[in-house]
């Protein structure tokens, strides 16, 4: 179960972080702190999405 959660987090980060960082760079708002906290927020979001998907899987069975 933990491996599925980590997979969900990595998948979310790989899909969302590069476009987010590119947009921040193009707008001139890319800072080290902003990028760090954006990636932390995406990490937590990915864990939440993975947790909800795991919860619904157990509920459906």
Q: For residue 41, what pLDDT is reported?
A: 87
Of the candidates 33, 44, 47, 61, the residue with the CA atom closest to the CA atom of residue 2: 47
Q: For residue 59, what pLDDT is reported?
A: 63
Q: For residue 58, what pLDDT is reported?
A: 62
Q: What is the 3-state secondary structure (H, E, C) of 2-61?
A: HHHHHHHHHHHHHHHHHHHHHHHHHCCCCCHHHHHHHHHHHHHHHHHHHHHHHHHHHHHC
Q: Enter the pTM of the model.
A: 0.63
| Rounded (5°) CA angle 6-54-45 | 50
Q: Where are the domains of the chain?
A: 2-55
Q: 6-56 pLDDT, tens per residue?
A: 787 788 788 888 998 999 899 998 999 988 998 888 888 877 777 666 666
Q: For residue 28, what pLDDT is reported?
A: 92
């Amino acid at each position: 179960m933990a491996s599925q959660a980590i997979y969900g987090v990595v998948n979310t980060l790989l899909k969302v972080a590069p476009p987010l960082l590119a947009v921040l760079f193009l707008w001139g708002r890319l800072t080290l702190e902003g990028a760090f906290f954006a990636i932390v927020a995406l990490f937590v979001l990915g864990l939440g999405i993975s947790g909800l998907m795991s919860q619904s899987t157990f509920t459906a069975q």
